[in-house]
Every structure is written in C-alpha cells, then in structure tokens.
C-alpha cells in the first residue's frame, strides 16, 4: 500500500557449465527481473562479452516458426483460448517433433492441393471467358481456321452490318456486346474492313481447341463446379483439422516459446571464457526461496549475492504494485498514465477510492447505476482475463458509487425517488411542471469546489512526503507553501464575501486597519506561502494561478452531472409528457402508435444518456486524477516488473 513491492538487487555468478541449470531454475521461479547486460562504448570490460544462446536455440526457433505459420493458416489465437486440460511438459517433449511434423504434413498437403486447384480454376475461368462470346455461333472452332482464300472475322460489333460482297455471316445480339463471325473472300477484305470499322468492330481471337463452343463451355463449367466442390471439401477438412489441433498447436506454441526464452537468455548475460554473470531484481520476500532453489540445483556451485546500497541508484528497481485486491483493477488506470517510480508514493489506492466517488457524483442516478452494474457483471463472461476484465471491475465500482449517490440525490432516470434528496437537489423542472425548489446549483458548485480544495490539498501533502524523502525539509517547504497560499487565499475570500456552504467570516469585527483577524491570518499565510514556493524556484510562481483554475475545474463534477440530469429530464418530458400521457388520456387506435413511439424514445434516450454518462463520467473523473491531482506530486515512469518466466496456460511440469 502506497509503496511498490520491495525489491532486492541480486547478482548470480557461476561457471558456464552451470548456465543452463541456472536458467531453468530462474525461469521456473518467475520472480527474477533480468537487467540485460549491455556492451557500451567506452565501458567495455576486457574479456567480458554478451553470452551466446544455448545449443538448440535455432532449432527451437525454427520449430516455433513452423507452429506459428500453422496457427496463422488456421486462424488460431492462443491468447484468446481457454484450455480444458493442461499437457505435461515431459509427455510433450517426447512427441512434439513427430506430432508437429504430422500435423504440418497434413496441413501442407491440403494447402498445396488447394493452391493447385485454385490455379486450375483460374485457368478454366480464363478459358470460359474466352469461349463465352462464341457460344451463340454454332460453328466448330476447327472451321474458323486454315483458309487461304477466305478472310475470317470474329469479334464484338456495335450493330449488325450489311455486307455487299459474297459472304457467310453469323450475328448473335447480346447485352454484353453483339458477336459477329464473318467469312469473306480475301479479295474483298479491304472493303469489309472499312465497313466493320464503321460499325465499331473489335476483333476477338479464336480460342484454341476444336468442337462446338456450346459443348466446350458446358464441359468447362462442369469441371469448374467439380473443382469448387473439391475446394469446399478441402476447406471442411482444414476446419476440422483446426478444431482438432487448435489446442495442440497452442500448447506447442507455449512450450516452444518458453523453451526459446530460456535458450536465448544468455544473450542478456555477461560472460567470460569460464563464467557468466546475471544481474537482476527479485521481490525481497522471494529472495530466500530463489537462493535456496539455485543452491539446490547447482549443488551450491552458484554464487548469489545481494547488492547492498541504495535501491534507487544507479539503476532504479523495476516496479511491481503491492495493493489490496479491491484496488488492483485501478492499476490499469495508473499504467495508462505511467507506472509509479520505485522511489515515489504509489497513489493507486487513493485513486481506487476517489475515482468511483467522482464518477458517482457525476452520474448520481440509481437507474443508470443499475444499468452499468448489470452491464459490467454481464459482460464479464464474454471477455478473456486481462485488461478488459479489469476495466469492467473499475466500471462496476463506479456503478456502485453511482447508485449510492443516486440514492443521496434521490434520482432514478431523472425522476425523483419517494424521498427528498439527502444532499443538495439536482432535479430540473421542465414543461411548466415547476419542481419544488429546482436544482440548488450554487450549493452544489461550492460543494464541488470543496471537494477540489480537499483533493488538491491531499495531492500537495503527498508531494511534501515525496519531496521530503529525497530532499529533506528543503523539499517539504515549497509544498507547504502551496497549501498555505491556497488556504490563506480562502481565508481572505471568506472574510470578504459570504459564500453558501463555506464559513462566513464577513461578520468578524475588524482588528487593524479595517482588516479582521481571519483576513490578516489569511494574508500572512498567502505571503509566507508565496515566499516558500519561491524558495525552490521563482519560476514556480508562474504556476500560481493554477490554485484557482485547478480548484474551479472541480466544478465539472456538478456541471457534467447536471447536464446528464438535463438530458434525462428532456427524454422523460418528450417520451412521457408529450407522447405517452396525452394518448393514454384520450385512448385511440392511433394513440397506441404514439405510445409505442414514446416507449422507444424513452429507451433509446436513456440508453444514449447512460453511454454519455459512462464516457463523460469516467473521462472527467479520470482527468481530475491525472491533471489536477497527479500534477501535484506524481511523476511516474517506473519500469514494469517483468520477471524471467512465463505464466503457463496450456502446459505443466
């Protein structure tokens, strides 16, 4: 809580023969975050190089490529699969080569046969295209060729033509273009050419082969149908193979990937002729287990040392969250901004509490809250484990907060619940039905400003803690300065104007020069605060207006909320007030239509408003965390803890 998981810097040194044992051991623990050894120009140590991969790395990687290519063929995504059973690694190791080859061969045979068939189909289709124009002319293809005294014309033509010389002509009109086959004595060729050209004649070469075009065409089309049927059969077999082998391929993928990661691990180590060194971070609570494991595996022949000293320098430790379970989904929101650094406060738990509260204040409506709650619980089944699920949990928390604040605001789809709002009312009146009192906008706005003041003060306190840890009291003073200026300014404002829901200090009698005690104290705090801020850097003072702008920004909690109420009230007014009620009073056949329309408007309108409320509420609430809260104290940019090892889904030892 508030701190990331404590890490210990470990060095493991052993002789090269032990390298594989050490790798397998570290991999099985899955707690060692390897710090890659990098050969830097100028920092190179004589005799130390990056290690070569273990012996069978290239073999394993080529197998993995084979498996991945089959996965692509079948469209298998191991990430999205949930295996029924796990395969034992030992069984798999014995049979994997044979089984991959068998599945691979079958796949290859099917695919190559399919490709071959597709090639034949393309050729046949080309032939059919060539034959098609001749289909209308009952002339054998052999008769188009082999004349010395006759000129033969075949092709498309714009219209039928009269030929003024002795000739033989077949003309078939067709919507795709009229076909003409024309035989004329060679001596009239020039005259006929001219006539044809005028009729927009486009020659088509006579296809090879013999026989009647109709018959050839029918034969080709018959073959095409047969081939397509065969392709469909092959596709069925591929689909069956996918069904059958999906789990096997995903299992192989996982097994080979884990094997490859281990085979290639030495690329991250520093090695000499005889020994190797691997450096990394282990969560402190796991250190003893890792040491014991390594000692057992190498019979005490590996040297494991804890590197003492500051865990922040020279290379900061990787960051793994350490939060109670209810705050874990919020880590997703933290990672979206930036993971905390190892040496700063981790505000996840605060965000996990404040984010839903802000969301609830914005979308404080029991009806919308229930819809979102149902959606977040219902959708869980359809999403795989991962970020999507976490997001749904964040949404669920928001929905619960929304229901809670809905009860306080006494709102249900924009209607009033049977009790008066326990907080300030947000109900708007519309269409002449004057609601009692109307929304208490001023009070609500001031309430949101109060939330802002407290949230920002919390941020500054966290900043004081963060800076205090690094720079001692010198780091704390400017942060206290910010807090003092803000509260000093508030005191001054309170003693000048009376604001609802805030202390009214205008009545305090003046003490010196017409100024009352609170005004004097406030002024003093303001001046001291400004001096304290300037003590760090005078440039910081350019940020001074953010005291006001950031606080004002919290007005969005109410403003966005009111706009959501307004949409709900409009939807209710249009659907019930304008469409349903009048027609219920004077019931008629046409009225039923209007009532149905009213119901449709009601459902569509409120669904739209739920979506808007979800997006608006979430983004605005998130923004208040990211911009107004985090900028006060949070840097982020920590490296994610990425232990050497794998979470296995398909295999087990």
224 touches 121 (CB < 8 A): yes
Residue 338 interacting with other proteins (CB under 8 A): yes
567 touches 428 (CB < 8 A): no
Residue 552 interacting with other proteins (CB under 8 A): yes
Coil/strand/helix, residue 305: strand
From candidates 556, 583, 606, 632, binder to other proteins by CB under 8 A? 556
Residue among 15 and 631 whose Cβ is closer to other proteins: 631
From candidates 442, 469, 470, 471, binder to other proteins by CB under 8 A? 442
Residue 567 interacting with other proteins (CB under 8 A): no
Residue 553 interacting with other proteins (CB under 8 A): yes
In the complex, least distance from residue 371 CB atom to other proteins, rounded to whole angstroms: 25
> Which window, 44-52, 253-261, 546-554, 583-591, contacts other proteins (CB under 8 A)?
546-554
| DSSP assignment letter at 507 | T
In the complex, least distance from residue 626 CB atom to other proteins, rounded to whole angstroms: 5
Residue 639 interacting with other proteins (CB under 8 A): no
In the complex, least distance from residue 80 CB atom to other proteins, rounded to whole angstroms: 20
Coil/strand/helix, residue 301: coil
Residue 223 interacting with other proteins (CB under 8 A): no
From candidates 49, 73, 221, 563, binder to other proteins by CB under 8 A? 563
Residues in CB range of 512: below 8 A, 6 or more apart: 520
Token digits for 551? Answer: 């606080």
Query: Burial, 386: exposed, middle or buried (Cβ in 10 Å; 0-12, 13-18, 19+)?
Result: exposed
Nearest of 575, 573, 572, 594 to residue 583 by alpha carbon: 594
Residue 642 interacting with other proteins (CB under 8 A): no
Residue among 444 and 462 whose Cβ is closer to other proteins: 444
Residue 623 interacting with other proteins (CB under 8 A): yes
| Torsion angles phi and psi, residue 130, rounded to 5 | -70, -35
Residue among 276 and 359 whose Cβ is closer to other proteins: 359
> Which window, 228-236, 300-308, 315-323, 557-565, contacts other proteins (CB under 8 A)?
557-565
Q: Which of residues 590-619 bind other proteins (CB under 8 A)?
A: 619
From candidates 11, 152, 521, 562, binder to other proteins by CB under 8 A? 562
> Which window, 108-116, 316-324, 394-402, 556-564, contacts other proteins (CB under 8 A)?
556-564
Residue 244 interacting with other proteins (CB under 8 A): no
Token digits for 647? Answer: 């979470």
| Torsion angles phi and psi, residue 275, rounded to 5 | -130, 170
Residue 640 interacting with other proteins (CB under 8 A): no
Residues in CB range of 408: below 8 A, 6 or more apart: 364, 421, 422, 423
Per-residue binder mask for other proteins (CB under 8 A), 293-332, x = binder:
----------------------------------------
Residue 498 interacting with other proteins (CB under 8 A): no
Nearest of 172, 169, 167 to residue 150 by alpha carbon: 167
Query: Burial, 297: exposed, middle or buried (Cβ in 10 Å; 0-12, 13-18, 19+)?
Result: middle
| DSSP assignment letter at 433 | B
Residue among 119 and 438 whose Cβ is closer to other proteins: 438
Torsion over CA: 12, 26, 67, 253 (sign): negative
The count of residues interacting with other proteins (CB under 8 A) is: 24
Residue 626 interacting with other proteins (CB under 8 A): yes
From candidates 77, 504, 627, 642, binder to other proteins by CB under 8 A? 627
Q: Tell me which residue has tokens 């092959």.
A: 234
Residue 69 interacting with other proteins (CB under 8 A): no
In the complex, least distance from residue 335 CB atom to other proteins, rounded to whole angstroms: 8
Residues in CB range of 574: below 8 A, 6 or more apart: 598, 601, 605
**How far apart (Å, rounded) are the C-alpha atoms in residues 366 and 400?**
9
From candidates 121, 139, 555, 567, binder to other proteins by CB under 8 A? 555
Tell me the H-state helices in 205-305: 213-264, 287-297
Residue 95 interacting with other proteins (CB under 8 A): no
In the complex, least distance from residue 641 CB atom to other proteins, rounded to whole angstroms: 16
Beta-carbon count within 10 A of 333 CB: 20
In the complex, least distance from residue 435 CB atom to other proteins, rounded to whole angstroms: 12
Residues in CB range of 253: below 8 A, 6 or more apart: 64, 67, 68, 71, 78, 650
CA dihedral 137, 140, 141, 145 (to 10 degrees): -110
Q: Between the CA of residue 340 and those of 22, 344, 479, 589, what are the distances in Å? A: 31, 7, 20, 65
Peptide bond into 314 cis (omega under 30): yes
In the complex, least distance from residue 337 CB atom to other proteins, rounded to whole angstroms: 4
> Which window, 152-160, 377-385, 400-408, 439-447, contacts other proteins (CB under 8 A)?
439-447
**What is the binding site for other proteins (CB under 8 A)?**
335-338, 438-439, 441-442, 445, 549, 552-553, 555-556, 559-560, 562-563, 619-620, 622-623, 626-627
């Amino acid at each position: 809580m508030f701190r990331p998981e404590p890490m210990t810097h470990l060095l493991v040194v052993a002789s090269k023969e032990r390298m594989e044992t050490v790798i397998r051991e570290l991999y099985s623990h899955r707690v060692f975050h390897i710090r890659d050894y990098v050969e830097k120009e100028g920092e190179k140590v004589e005799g130390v190089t990056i290690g070569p991969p273990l012996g069978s790395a290239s073999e394993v990687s080529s197998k993995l490529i084979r498996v991945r290519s089959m996965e692509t063929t079948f469209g298998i995504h191991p990430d999205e699969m949930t295996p029924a059973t796990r395969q034992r690694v030992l069984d798999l190791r014995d049979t994997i080569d044979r089984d991959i080859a068998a599945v691979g061969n079958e796949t290859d045979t099917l695919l190559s046969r399919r490709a071959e068939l597709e090639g034949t189909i393309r050729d046949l289709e080309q032939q059919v295209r060539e034959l098609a124009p001749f289909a209308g002319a009952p002339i054998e293809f052999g008769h188009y060729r082999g004349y010395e005294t006759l000129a033969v014309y075949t092709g498309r033509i714009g219209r039928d033509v009269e030929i003024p010389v002795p000739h033989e002509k077949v003309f078939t009109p067709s919507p795709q273009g009229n076909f003409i086959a024309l035989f004329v004595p060679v001596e009239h060729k020039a005259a006929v050419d001219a006539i044809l050209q005028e009729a927009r004649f486009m020659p088509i070469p006579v296809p090879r082969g013999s026989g009647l075009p109709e018959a050839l065409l029918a034969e080709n089309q018959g073959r095409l149908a047969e081939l397509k049927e065969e392709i469909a059969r092959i596709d069925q077999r591929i689909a069956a193979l996918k069904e059958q082998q999906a789990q096997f391929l995903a299992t192989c993928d996982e097994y080979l990937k884990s094997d490859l990661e281990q085979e290639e691990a030495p690329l991250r180590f520093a090695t000499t002729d005889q020994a190797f060194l691997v450096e990394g971070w282990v969560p402190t609570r796991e250190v003893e287990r890792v040491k014991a494991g390594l000692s057992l595996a190498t019979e005490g022949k590996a040297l494991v040392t804890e590197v003492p000293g500051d865990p922040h320098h020279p290379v900061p430790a990787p960051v793994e969250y350490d939060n109670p379970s209810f705050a874990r989904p919020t880590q997703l929101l933290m990672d979206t901004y930036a993971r905390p650094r190892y040496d700063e406060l981790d505000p996840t738990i605060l965000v996990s509490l404040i984010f839903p509260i802000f969301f609830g204040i914005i979308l404080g409506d029991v009806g919308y809250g229930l819809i979102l709650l149902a959606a977040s619980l219902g959708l869980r089944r359809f999403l795989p484990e991962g970020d999507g699920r976490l997001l749904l949990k964040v949404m669920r928390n928001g929905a619960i907060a929304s229901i809670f604040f809905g009860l306080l605001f006494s709102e249900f789809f924009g209607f009033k619940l049977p009790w008066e709002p326990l907080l300030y009312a947000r109900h708007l009146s519309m269409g002449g039905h004057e609601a009692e009192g109307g929304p208490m906008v001023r009070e609500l706005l001031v309430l949101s400003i109060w939330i802002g003041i407290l949230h920002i003060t919390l941020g500054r306190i966290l900043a004081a803690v963060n800076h205090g840890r690094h720079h001692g009291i010198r780091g704390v003073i400017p942060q206290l300065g910010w807090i003092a200026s803000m509260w000093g300014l508030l005191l001054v404002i309170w003693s000048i104007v009376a604001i609802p829901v805030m202390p009214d200090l205008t009545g305090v009698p003046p003490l010196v020069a017409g100024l009352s005690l609170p005004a004097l104290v406030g002024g003093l705090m303001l001046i001291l605060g400004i001096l304290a801020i300037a003590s760090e850097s005078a440039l910081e003072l350019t940020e001074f207006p953010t005291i006001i702008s950031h606080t004002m920004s919290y007005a969005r909690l109410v403003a966005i909320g009111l706009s959501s109420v307004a949409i709900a009230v409009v939807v209710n007014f249009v659907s019930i007030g304008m469409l349903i009620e009048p027609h219920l009073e004077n019931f008629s056949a046409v009225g039923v239509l209007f009532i149905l329309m009213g119901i449709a408007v009601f459902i569509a309108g409120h669904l739209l408003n739920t979506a808007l409320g979800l997006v608006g509420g979430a983004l605005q609430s998130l923004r208040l965390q990211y911009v107004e809260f985090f900028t006060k104290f949070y840097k982020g940019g920590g490296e994610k803890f990425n232990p050497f090892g794998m979470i296995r889904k398909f295999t087990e030892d």
